[in-house]
Structure 1
Amino acid sequence: MTIRMTIARALVAVTVLGLGFPSTSAALQKSYIPLPEILTDPNEGNTYGFLGVVLFLDEQKIIKYILAPDVRYNHITGVDPTFRLFGYPSIARKWSVVLGKSEHIDEDYDLRYEDNGFWQNRARLFANFEFEQDSSERFFGFGNGSSQKAESNYTGRQLNALVWLAYRLQPTLSLTYRTRVRVFRVEKGGVDNLPSIEDEHPGTPGLGGATIVGQEFGLLYDTRDDTNIPRQGALGVFTAELVPRALGSSLSFVKYAAEGRKFIPIHDRIVLAMRARADYIAGPSDVPFFEQNDLGGHESLRGFGGGRFVDKDRVFASAELRTRVYRREIFGVNAELELAPFADFGQVFHSSRSSPFNDLHAVGGLGFRGVVPPQVVGFVDIGLGEQGLAAFTGLEYPF
């Protein structure tokens, strides 16, 4: 039995036996939503498919489960069927299972669990296990000014496992700890018209792969009124992650991060959401490229593909005006539509002695958000940057 089949069967077993979906779903109301899929991604290009969504609702019309399998076609991945199941046992807890295997290279087996009332509300817990192969990954070289002409392709094959715990010292102040293991390998990519990373960027640290075992410690300040759909409050976090050879890592280095978020209700329908973050790596020059800090994708510069700019350090900031424009019952649930004009700014740099603000990349755009309180958010974000338009889709707010 291959490792991929073992992972898939283990995740299905956890879902069926440990999370109790089949035993409770029969008593819930069901709502069926057939959806065509027309997606675009700066790295993957255009994707077409069909998504069949089944919502399982309790008597208050609150979503308890979402079953969302789909079949997609993309010229890089080929036919790509994926099974998705999301569970929302309570306002404080949620879990998800994703199992996907494409016709060609790409695979994704992902299990997540989150509990904001863990240990009788003394702590917050997040756990994630994932095996992934992505044949559309890009690398343009290091630096904030890396050229589009230096674009290369590779397949990122990785196994990730992490557990994050935040212990509440006070209602708004927590000590955090995260342990993670990441095993990463670089393999031949799936984009035939691009050079491989080995040919275009020989000597890049990390081409031979690496094992990362990190222990992160931090301090978290959180006054948000809701962790899933925040309308007001603030969040501040500082972390330091130790990655030592002594625990099995391929090399030793330290990561530092600081982040702040602020949510300001301007009107009962409008929330100004802001975020700023800085990341810094202290360590040797051969820290693998996939462990260095990057910008691009749906969580940072939304006008660029994932990992567009890479270097040891980075700063970025975002602001968006989340505006509810429509609310009604649809498909059996109380849903809201938000429009969110946004602006992103960011820069990567190689040394703490460099100015982090002298060459910021800027992106502007518009987000479309489907919100189903108390936990579910789906998004389509379209951003315009220096290299044109980029669009991203997924679940949860970007911050």
Structure 2
Amino acid sequence: MDFTLNDRETHFRDRVKAFIEREIRPRVPDYHRQNHEGERWKVIPVIEEVKAKAREAGLWNLFMPPRSGRAHVDDEFAFQGEQLTNLEYALCAEEMGRIAWASECFNCSAPDTGNMEVFHRYGTLAQKERWLRPLMEGQIRSAFLMTEPAVASSDATNIQTSMVRDGDHYVVNGRKWWSSGVGDPRCKVAILMGKTSFEGSRHQQQSMLILDLGTPGVRVERMLSVYGYDHAPHGHGEVVLDNVRIPVENMLLGEGRGFEIAQGRLGPGRIHHCMRTIGVAEAGIEAMAQRLLSRVAFGKRIADHSVWEQRIARARIDIEMTRLLCLKAADMMDKAGNKAAQLEIAMIKVQAPTMALQILDDAIQAHGGGGVSQDFPLAFEWAHVRTLRFADGPDEVHNRAIARAEFGKYPDARSEVAGR
């Protein structure tokens, strides 16, 4: 088995890494200063400045997959992007994950990446021109409205937002939350999941509409905190939809196709999160090692205490194993398709956040009181990664799929109790 990266994989990974070290890491103090000045919900100038440089350097929309076989609509929509494979992008995304705001500089941040793939896969030419083009040019941002506070949204068939056809419009009523990105003043469009029917097959009741967030009846009721962090200027909102009228031409793919679209969207999105999370873990182990080597306690460096040697070793082992699983999943997606890689995607979606959380927790412990303060990014990163155990399906859902696949290997197993 050959684990050597090819020239193209190395080329893009190294270019992204070099760009981050040259253009992004030196601007981290500027980002923090601008983020804490004035209004919380705003456009941060340093990001816009770096975005222009990334686009000029050709490091733009790297997440977009090769075009062949992707679009449902055969059109001539042209878009900017290198069209990397999942494996190629995995290596780049890991580098982006080392600094929380780096991915946006390459126009590769969630939920825009998933939404752009939805428009690309399922949108009409008119829908792409109206919404995909400005998203891919980095002019606007977007949200994905699926989760609801009143139901267990880990089962997407539970959602209750109604979409009732009335002439040339759908009248939409419902309440969504964890609508990531709605706090950003550039957020102009959302992909909205609801039900056009409450009867028949549970997986054919849902539909997806394109929602212009300026439509009357759309109200951001509040922004939600994550372990006390507001995640401004991006943020996560609770959105009320009160008799919102959406034109019928804003329907994606057709009535009853929402669950199908959601599955197509969430597969790549899940692995994108995992790729970035490995980068978070690498930043965590680096911070931990630097701290342990620079502090003295009880007459010797903290690094020389055996408990910390064990923790550092475990962290490195876990990162390496998780990376291999992530790259395996990405490679399977490229070679056999997203559906064939469902099990690997589920495994990495459980493993990556759990691994990173342990490393961040140890890094926080190594920093003592400083670790939970704003002087280091560790507490913020821990709070962010912790949400990934819910996002795009909770651990329990993915573990259930993994377990069922394992049980399925033994169809002839008999109950020992029944045989007595």
If asked which structure has higher relative contact order (CA below 8 Å, sep 6+), I would say 2
- Report TM bin, short chain: under 0.3
Normalised TM-score (structure 1): 0.27
Normalised TM-score (structure 2): 0.26
Higher strand share: 1
- Which structure: larger Rg? 2
Higher helix share: 2
